[in-house]
Amino acid sequence: MCGIAGLVLSPGAALPDPATLAALGRALAHRGPDGSGHAVVGRIALVQTRLAIIDLEGGDQPLFAGPAALVCNGEIYNYRELRAGLADAQFATFSDCEPPLHLWLRNGPDFAEMLRGMYAIAIHERVARTVTLSRDPFGIKPLYTAQVPGGLAFASEPAALLAAGLVERRLRPAAREELLQMQFTTGADTIFEGVQRVLPGETLTCAEGRVLERRRIAALPDGGPEEIGEDEALERLDRALTESVDLHQRSDVPYGMFLSGGIDSACVLALMARLNSQPVLAYTAGFAAPGAADERIAAGELARAVGARHETVEVTEAMVWQHLPEIVACMDDPAADYAIIPSWFLARRARNDVKVVLSGEGGDEIFAGYGRYRSAMRPWWLGGRVMRGRGSFDRLDVLRSPAAGWRDGIAAAEARAATQGRSRLAVAQATDIADWLAHDLLLKLDRCLMAHGVEGRTPLLDTGVAAAAFRLPDALKVRDGRGKWLLRKWLERHLPAARPFAPKQGFTVPIGAWIANQGARLGPLVAAQPGVAEIADPGRVTALFRACGGRHEGFAAWTLLFYALWHRAHILGLQPAGDVFETLAAGIPVPRLATSGGRRLRHAVS
């Protein structure tokens, strides 16, 4: 895993500023602590920081072939098969990222159609003076662009563009409304004015400081439910899962996995145990809080059933208050998902042993596990409900003005997902995969792991697995009030110790209870933050934190706490000043003028 960035400047613009390129590299160093490289040709520059996973000695980037150079953040899992099919290519390394470069030389922007992996790629062609940017179909690896004075900039994280002074720290209010009400933001436009996501599956051709062409690869197969029986579906699923996990284990460094007590990670564990001769190394987080769901016991039973080595991390309230400012600071593209807390601590523990971890992310979306899907299957007159029809702050009377238009992005995603032939269930899944998955769950996994130089892999989010599972009949996804029916049947055969049809306790972080413990202290601090004071009445914020024992109130309080810390870090541009209480209590300096690239940028304070 790595960080990439670059500039595609227009004719007549100044040449790339070495100080700007150095700032981009420094801002992405946590993503690639093992090395760095850059290439500058005229008004085009590529920057890369490397986390060495495959071809440790020879895989430094940029990679060069003919008139082209490549930088990549990701893993191309089918790189061996691609190399075998490129018999005429002259390979200089054994890197998994070199085959895409030769594919681009042969196929141009269509090169990504043959890739199987997670990736954000930039390829510079020196003769045509073009840069091709490409992102994997599920959006596992991030990539952002921004129109800047003189042309186009791109980077793995918006924070790098901000740190280099290429864009201003200016917030987009519509995205803030989405974040507060849904915990994530949708679509191409980020919460930062002028910064856009390269969407999952997109390939952009850029030249002369702008995007010339866009094309896109779909993550999911087209069409409605197929006709297939349960036995045939199980056999096909076993082949797809086995192949995917086998590919996702390709690595020249040690790897492990994140194990919860749930269905998805249990499936990954079963397959890793089948495919490895050595014991699987599994990590599980638990919480030291009365009444909190603690998955360590169930995960430990699974680990013993397959002979895995099991490492646990206990997350305490004190640990959370100590580290929450830096946890939130790593979420530059914000997702107010409290699962960032265990993810960050797990990554911190895992980095002592491994550089790569596999996880079960995406199983609920691909196999239809969420309860909201079962509701979406029913028409409204039978109790069906629109997904995300209610926001986190509805009926709480905390915000200064009612959130407006916060659901527009999801409504647009629902309309795009409703292609001909898809069932209500498949539309709900596709909607989540387009936005919730890419802009919350995968974003969380990427940032929390890369903050510690650890690569996260998601074998359930694979085009082969999607082809085997997404178009299953609804009855093989949901039956008897349970989602992920076929995956449960598969697990019942291959790891019965997981008890896939037993009632499961949902995974929750006891952040509401912890906030309630400190509500009287936290409320005034959160209410006084500039970002929160702009959108919410301070007295109502304080009252919310004093009485946040209910689930709805607790989640709203968590969202405001997250937003207060995020705004401080990424709009005010301030570093954590100690634990959460010290950070929130630290004074807010007068906004200053910063100079970069010949421009004076005002750090906007909302």
Give per-residue pLDDT as tens, 462-518: 999 999 999 999 999 999 989 999 999 999 999 999 999 987 766 578 999 999 999
DSSP element (H, E) containing 589: none
Least confident of 31-35, 410-414, 593-597: 593-597
Q: Across residues 20-48, what is the average pLDDT?
A: 96
Characterize 29-42 residue by residue with b for buried, 16 or more Cβ atoms within 10 angstroms of its Cβ, and e for exposed.
ebbbbbebbbbbee
In this predicted structure, the answer to whether residue 604 has a pLDDT above a threshold of 70 is: no
Indicate if 230-498 has the same CATH topology as 2-216: no
Least confident of 237-241, 324-328, 389-393, 443-447: 389-393
* Residue bearing tokens 């309230």: 317
| pLDDT, position 598 | 34
Q: Is 234 in contact with 486 (CB distance < 8 Å)?
A: yes
φ/ψ (deg, to 5) at 582: -65, -40
- CATH class (in words) of the domain with range 2-216: alpha beta
235: Cβ contacts below 8 Å, ≥ 6 apart: none
pTM above the 0.85 mark? yes
Other C-beta atoms within 10 Å of 529: how many?
23
| pLDDT, position 540 | 95
- The secondary structure of residue 497, as a DSSP letter, is G
Cα 113 from Cα 219, distance rounded (Å): 11
Amino acid at 577: A
How many C-alpha atoms does 509 have within 13 Å on its Cβ side?
Answer: 20
Burial (0-12, 13-18, 19+ Cβ within 10 Å), 595: exposed
In this predicted structure, the answer to whether residue 592 has a pLDDT above a threshold of 60 is: no
| pLDDT, position 505 | 65
Q: Sorting pLDDT into bands at 50, 70 and 90, what band is 402?
A: confident
Q: Is 2 in contact with 26 (CB distance < 8 Å)?
A: no
Other C-beta atoms within 10 Å of 216: how many?
14
In this predicted structure, the answer to whether residue 593 has a pLDDT above a threshold of 70 is: no
| pLDDT, position 172 | 97
Q: Sorting pLDDT into bands at 50, 70 and 90, what band is 1?
A: low
Q: Across residues 580-594, what is the average pLDDT?
A: 72
In this predicted structure, the answer to whether residue 591 has a pLDDT above a threshold of 70 is: no
Q: Is 584 in contact with 525 (CB distance < 8 Å)?
A: yes
In this predicted structure, the answer to whether residue 367 has a pLDDT above a threshold of 60 is: yes
| pLDDT, position 404 | 85
In this predicted structure, the answer to whether residue 599 has a pLDDT above a threshold of 50 is: no
φ/ψ (deg, to 5) at 121: -125, 140
In this predicted structure, the answer to whether residue 526 has a pLDDT above a threshold of 90 is: yes
Cα 98 from Cα 120, distance rounded (Å): 14
Share above pLDDT 70 across residues of the chain, in percent, rounded to a whole number: 95
Amino acid at 492: E
Question: How do residues 422-441 score in pLDDT, each as one tens digit?
Answer: 999 999 999 999 999 999 99
| pLDDT, position 289 | 78
- Distances from the Cα of 399 to the Cα of 67, 356, 389, 544, 563, angstroms: 55, 42, 18, 11, 13
Q: Across residues 379-407, what is the average pLDDT?
A: 83
Q: Across residues 231-251, what is the average pLDDT?
A: 97
Please count the residues of the chain.
Answer: 606
Least confident of 121-130, 374-383, 513-522, 576-585: 374-383
Supply the mean pLDDT for the chain: 93
| pLDDT, position 588 | 67
CA 102 to the chain's CA centroid = 28
Q: Across residues 354-374, what is the average pLDDT?
A: 95
Catalytic residue, chosen from 2, 97, 206, 267, is 2
| pLDDT, position 601 | 30
- Distances from the Cα of 372 to the Cα of 27, 425, 482, 566, angstroms: 38, 10, 12, 28
| pLDDT, position 605 | 28
230-498 folds as Rossmann fold (3.40.50)
Give the start-to-end residue ranges of the domains of the chain: 2-216, 230-498, 511-602
Looking at the DSSP bridge assignments, the partners of residue 3 are 49
Question: How do residues 271-316 score in pLDDT, each as one tens digit?
Answer: 999 999 999 999 999 997 777 778 899 999 999 999 999 999 999 9
Q: Across residues 165-170, what is the average pLDDT?
A: 97
N- to C-terminal Cα distance for the chain? Answer: 34
| pLDDT, position 535 | 95
Other C-beta atoms within 10 Å of 281: how many?
21
| pLDDT, position 183 | 96
| pLDDT, position 115 | 97
Question: How do residues 106-124 score in pLDDT, each as one tens digit?
Answer: 999 999 999 999 999 999 9
- Distances from the Cα of 483 to the Cα of 234, 303, 370, 389, 489, angstroms: 16, 24, 7, 21, 11
2 is a catalytic site residue: yes
DSSP 197-234: EPPTTEEEEEETTEEEEEEE--SS--SS-----HHHHH
Q: Which two tokens stand for residue 49?
A: 């920081």
